[in-house]
C-alpha cells in the first residue's frame, strides 16, 4: 500500500532484466552461433569504423569496466554510510557483488567465443558482457541519488545514466569485443539484480519505518473503555 508504483516498477524492471538474461542463456546453451542482430550490428560497426570513433568507443567502454564501476559503487557506499542508509548500502554492495560473480559463472558455463578481429584487447569468453552488466551500476547510483536520497532532484541524472549505459554496451559491439546478445544479456543481468535488490530494500525500509513509528495516543474514552 505505502510502497506504490516505485516498488512495482523495480519488480517489473528486475523481472524483465532477468528474463532477457535467462532467455539468451538458454538460447546460447544450445547454439553458440550468432543470434538475430548479432551479425547485422557487427556489419554496421564495420561500416562506421573510423579511428576517431574507435578512440571515442575505447574511452566510453572504460566507464563500464569493473574498476571504474567498482569505484563508483565505493564512492556511493561512502555517501550512504554518511547519510546513515544501511538498507540501501547493503542492497547496493550485495547487488554489485552478485553481478560480478554471476558474470564470471555465466562466462565459464557458456564459454562462447568472441567475435573475430576485435579492435580492443579481450580475454575470456564473451557471454555475457561484463562491461554491460557492470555499467548498470550507473543507473542504480543515479536512482539512489535522486529517488532514495533526494540529493539530486532532476530526473535528467537518471536519463543521462541510461544513455551512458546504452553507449557503453554499444561501444563493446563497435569495438567487436561482443555480440549484441552478449551486451543484451549483460544489461539484463545487471538491471535484473539491481531491480530485485532495490525492491527488497524498499520493502525492508518500509517495514523498518513502520516499526519505528510510535503508536498514536488513545482517546480518553477509548482508554476508559479499555480499563473497564
In order along its 228 residues, the chain shows pLDDT tens digits of 456 788 888 899 999 999 999 999 999 999 999 999 999 999 999 999 899 999 999 999 999 999 999 999 999 999 999 999 999 999 999 999 999 999 999 999 999 999 999 999 888 899 999 999 999 999 999 999 987 777 777 788 999 999 999 999 999 999 999 999 999 999 999 999 999 999 998 888 878 766 555 555 555 554 444 454
pLDDT at residue number 20: 97
Any residues with CB less than 8 A from the CB of 13 and at least 6 apart, and which? 191, 192, 195
How far is Cα 40 from Cα 123, in angstroms, rounded to an integer?
23
What are phi and psi for residue 136, nearest 5 degrees?
-65, -15
- Burial class of residue 130 in the structure, from the number of CB atoms within 10 Å of its CB (0-12 exposed, 13-18 middle, 19+ buried): buried
pLDDT at residue number 149: 74
pLDDT at residue number 223: 45
In this structure, how many other beta carbons lie within 10 angstroms of the beta carbon of residue 107? 18
pLDDT at residue number 205: 81
pLDDT at residue number 141: 95
pLDDT at residue number 1: 47
pLDDT at residue number 214: 52
pLDDT at residue number 147: 78
Amino acid at each position: 500500500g505505502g510502497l506504490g508504483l516505485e516498488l512495482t516498477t523495480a519488480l517489473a524492471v528486475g523481472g524483465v532484466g532477468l528474463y532477457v538474461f535467462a532467455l539468451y542463456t538458454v538460447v546460447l546453451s544450445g547454439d553458440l552461433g550468432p543470434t538475430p542482430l548479432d551479425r547485422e550490428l557487427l556489419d554496421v560497426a564495420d561500416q562506421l569504423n573510423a579511428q576517431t570513433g574507435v578512440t571515442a568507443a575505447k574511452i566510453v567502454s572504460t566507464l563500464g569496466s569493473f574498476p571504474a564501476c567498482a569505484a563508483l559503487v565505493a564512492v556511493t557506499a561512502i555517501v550512504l554510510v554518511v547519510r546513515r542508509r544501511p538498507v540501501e548500502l547493503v542492497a547496493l554492495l550485495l547487488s554489485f557483488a552478485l553481478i560480478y560473480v554471476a558474470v564470471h559463472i555465466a562466462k565459464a558455463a557458456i564459454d562462447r567465443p568472441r567475435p573475430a578481429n576485435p579492435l580492443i584487447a579481450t580475454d575470456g569468453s564473451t557471454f555475457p558482457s561484463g562491461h554491460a552488466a557492470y555499467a548498470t551500476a550507473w543507473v542504480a547510483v543515479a536512482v539512489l541519488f535522486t529517488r532514495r536520497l533526494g540529493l539530486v532532484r532532476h530526473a535528467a541524472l537518471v536519463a543521462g545514466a541510461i544513455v551512458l549505459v546504452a553507449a557503453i554496451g554499444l561501444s563493446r559491439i563497435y569495438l567487436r569485443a561482443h555480440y549484441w546478445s552478449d551486451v543484451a544479456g549483460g544489461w539484463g543481468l545487471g538491471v535484473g539484480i539491481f531491480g530485485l535488490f532495490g525492491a527488497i530494500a524498499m520493502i525492508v525500509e518500509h517495514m523498518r519505518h513502520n516499526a519505528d513509528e510510535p503508536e498514536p495516543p488513545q482517546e480518553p474514552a477509548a482508554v476508559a473503555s479499555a480499563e473497564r
